[in-house]
């Protein structure tokens, strides 16, 4: 495993045909705040997060995942990572340089093994944010992102080798092997998940709420709004975090969560939980069973943006 140079997840960028409807969802009932916009691009922040934005929306002819962005501690770490990736044969989109997005900073983009665009940056200005109050059911910050891959083992090994991720836990099938690997770059149980799917695509994006009460209030608020609930509410075993999965206007799955497990990395050993154990997917037993229709929905549409960097 490479020396760990990534610090945290910054933002997830989505491209969609019906930009107005998607913006209305994320800046409305989902609880994010539009902080900047420019010619069909909108930047949305979480009120409790120091990140300039946690979701970027872009108007496009086709739905796609534009990129996933991670932080690094210093510009030197950004340069070091870029040099390592070049030596490792990873395709860079561009050399490290000054970023033109809100908050500026220094960073670069590259393709992962499945063709997703990944961005790493440092020295991004801290956004003025605030403490989320008791009973306030809006996202505090971005929690994690899960992607689908047709080869979970190869994708996991790529992230371990090139970006220093470590395996925290896995959901497995007795015959099929790993169905979902939970990967970390800090004591937080996971900031990335890699799920088995027929094609590379976005599985879900997760947002952390203040606590369990706020999580339930947020789940109820989304239900009352008429937003479709795909799965939940329940509590996962891997990560020990509650979950409510909803579907955004373009068919992407988005999650409310809270209380993600913090690990003692020096003592931790990964568990391999069987998908056939109902408690592995939902400790509480309150969620609808993890069925084939739910799994198909989480597979999402084929991503047409693989190995094609977004235009902005």
DSSP state of 108: E
Q: What local confidence, expressed as pLDDT, does residue 45 receive?
A: 98
Q: What local confidence, expressed as pLDDT, does residue 210 receive?
A: 98
Structural domains in the chain?
A: 6-122 (3.10.180.10), 141-299 (3.10.180.10)
Q: What local confidence, expressed as pLDDT, does residue 175 receive?
A: 81
Q: Which residues of 247-285 are buried (b: 16+ CB within 10 A; e: fewer)?
A: bbebebbbbbbbbbbebeeeebeeeebebeeeebbbeee
Spans of the chain below 50 pLDDT: 1
User: For residues 86 and 247, is the Cβ–Cβ distance under 8 A?
Assistant: no
Q: Token pair for residue 203? A: 């599985």
């Amino acid at each position: 495993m490479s020396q760990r140079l990534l610090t945290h997840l910054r933002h997830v960028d989505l491209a969609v045909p019906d930009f107005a409807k998607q913006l209305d969802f994320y800046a409305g009932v989902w609880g994010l705040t539009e902080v900047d916009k420019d010619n069909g691009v909108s930047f949305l922040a979480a009120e409790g997060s120091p990140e300039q934005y946690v979701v970027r929306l872009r108007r496009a002819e086709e739905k796609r995942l534009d990129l996933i962005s991670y932080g690094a501690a210093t510009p030197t770490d950004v340069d070091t990572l870029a040099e390592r990736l070049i030596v490792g044969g990873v395709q860079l989109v561009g050399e490290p340089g000054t970023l033109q997005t809100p908050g500026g900073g220094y960073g670069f983009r590259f393709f992962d093994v499945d063709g997703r665009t990944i961005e790493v940056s440092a020295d991004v200005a801290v956004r003025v944010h605030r403490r989320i109050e008791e009973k306030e059911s809006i996202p505090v910050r971005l929690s994690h992102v899960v992607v689908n891959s047709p080869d979970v083992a190869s994708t996991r090994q790529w992230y371990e080798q090139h970006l220093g991720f470590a395996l925290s836990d896995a959901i497995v099938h007795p015959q099929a092997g790993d169905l979902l690997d939970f990967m970390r770059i800090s004591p937080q149980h996971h900031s990335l998940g890699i799920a088995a799917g027929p094609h590379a695509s976005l599985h879900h994006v997760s947002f952390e709420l203040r606590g369990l009460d706020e999580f339930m209030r947020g789940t109820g608020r989304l239900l009352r709004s008429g937003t479709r609930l795909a799965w939940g509410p329940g509590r996962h075993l891997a990560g020990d975090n509650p979950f409510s999965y909803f579907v955004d206007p373009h068919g992407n799955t988005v999650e409310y969560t809270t209380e993600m497990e913090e690990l003692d990395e020096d003592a931790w050993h990964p568990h391999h939980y069987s998908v056939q154990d109902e408690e592995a997917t939902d400790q509480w037993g309150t969620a609808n069973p993890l069925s084939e229709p739910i799994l198909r929905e989480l597979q999402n549409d084929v991503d047409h943006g693989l190995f094609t960097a977004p235009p902005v």
